[in-house]
Amino acid sequence: MGEAMKKTVLLIVGIIFSFPMAMAQEIIENPEKAGNAKAGRIVTLSEDMRIADTGEGFYFKNPFTIRVSPRDDIFIYDGQEQALQFDARGRFVRNLFKKGQGPGELTVLYDIWASSDRLYLFGYPSKILIFNYDGSLDKELSTRDVGTVGKFIWSDSDGILMSKSGRPDPAAGNGLRDFPQDIVEISTRDSTVTKISSFPIRAFIEFFPGGAASVRAWNQLHAVSLDERILVLNYTPEYRLEMYDREKGAIVRRFDRPYVRVKKRGGAGISSTGGNRPPEPEFQTDIFSLHVVDGKTWVQTSTIVEGKGILFDVFDRGGRYVDSFYVQSPQKDASGKPANQMLTIANGFAYGRERTEDELIVIKKYRLVGF
């Protein structure tokens, strides 16, 4: 990309009396089309393996989150009482969720995570359970400062990164407002929770006597980790990405590309407990999901083209738009048209949930053919 495509701005991020500081923040203005000559190609999903509900040791209720470890183990968050562990061949190993309030137990499960040597559960009572792959409990961390709404982003032996909802400002009043989403680090040594930064999403908020609030989110915070230092974020309904440097404690790069927004098809908008309703958004959120593949950021967009599939964009570590392709999803909406699909991309494969003709839920591992 030519230098004309880059603009570097200096933002004043703090003044410390005798030590004024400025943080350089790079803004990458990408072209409409990716640099790869094969950009726009169609990638198909070819089934490599499936996990079917056989009734032997487990049954699927509502599998939602699929985590895949660097060693290809599969870990599935299924409802609020199942953390299902499978080996790399899809064979059921165990359900790590045990209901209760004792050591190694939870009453409700909120999220799961898989690293190369540990499996993580987050739930209520507010704590994180860290297990070895043999099912033994390695550690239990209190997370009272995280609350009950949190999602894993990254982990290593020293700490865990999570996103969580912050506190809306009552002084702002009811209506469509910025709703803070915090990223926090939990120490695996002493359970200390440290707030790293906060990013606002859009939400319809109503406050009630006594301090309670009703929140209906317009979009969500997407956060993935390129490595132990750099996070890639999207927290706007529009197509915009940012790189956050944990070492510098700041956004160091913003990047996007010209994107044709997708209009919403029907829907009732965002309703509220009090019966009030803000204007329905005209467009879908541009970014459906983020993935990290081979050190690059894959953006799963809201664009779906019949006959082609779901549009994915690829950005390198410098925020440059280097590739794009369509993934043909087997999912259909109520009208029979192609629909977006929650996918996990890991170790050269995609993982997703499907329903059979008999309405049974299966988890499939797919090869990406044509990539």
Peptide bond into 125 cis (omega under 30): yes
At residue 341, the pLDDT reads 92
pLDDT of residue 145: 67
Query: What is the per-residue pLDDT for 278?
Result: 67
Q: Which residues of the chain have pLDDT under 70?
A: 1-23, 145-149, 266-279
Q: What is the pLDDT of residue 4?
A: 41
- Name the DSSP letter for residue 106: B
pLDDT at 149: 64
Tell me if the pTM is above 0.75.
yes
CB 64 within 8 A of CB 80: no
pLDDT of residue 336: 80
DSSP state of 343: E
Beta-carbon contacts of 222 under 8 Å, excluding residues fewer than 6 positions away, are: 233, 234, 235, 287, 289, 290
Q: What is the pLDDT of residue 211?
A: 76
| Cα-based torsion angle of the residue sequence 302, 178, 200, 209 in order, rounded to the nearest 10 degrees | -120
All residues at 6 or more sequence positions from 339 whose CB lies less than 8 Å from its CB, including other chains: 304, 329, 331, 332, 333
The per-residue pLDDT for range 139-160, each reduced to its tens digit, is: 999 887 666 568 999 999 899 9
pLDDT for 231 equals 98
pLDDT of residue 1: 47
Which structural domains are found in the chain, ordered by start? 3-369 (2.120.10.30)
- pLDDT the model gives residue 23: 58
Q: How many Å apart are CA 139 and CA 186, to the nearest integer?
A: 13
